[in-house]
Amino acid sequence: MKDAIDKRGKLDAEIFTYKLTKDKRVFVFWHGKQLTFLSGESAKAFIAKMEKAEGKAAQLIMAKATGHFKHGNEN
């Protein structure tokens, strides 16, 4: 059974990536296109979460960081 959060299994494809800059800013990408960037406290929190996550959990963290997660038509 698929996870209730990702019913269609989109996060299995690892569609999100991120890049950490020297000045501790985080750029989040979806299919290679930059969607957002984080700085300051939000970047610190993101980095702390990502250090503990891998695979689908990491994908979910990046999806939520974009601010465009779960609009209701993903099912």
**pTM of the complete model beyond 0.85:** no
Digit-coded pLDDT (tens) for 47-74? 999 999 988 889 989 988 988 665 544 4
CA atoms within 13 A on the CB side of 19: 10
State how far the Cα of 39 lies from the Cα of 75, in Å rounded to an integer.
31
Q: Pick the more confident residue, 3 or 74.
A: 3
Q: What are the residue ranges spanned by the domains of the chain?
A: 10-66
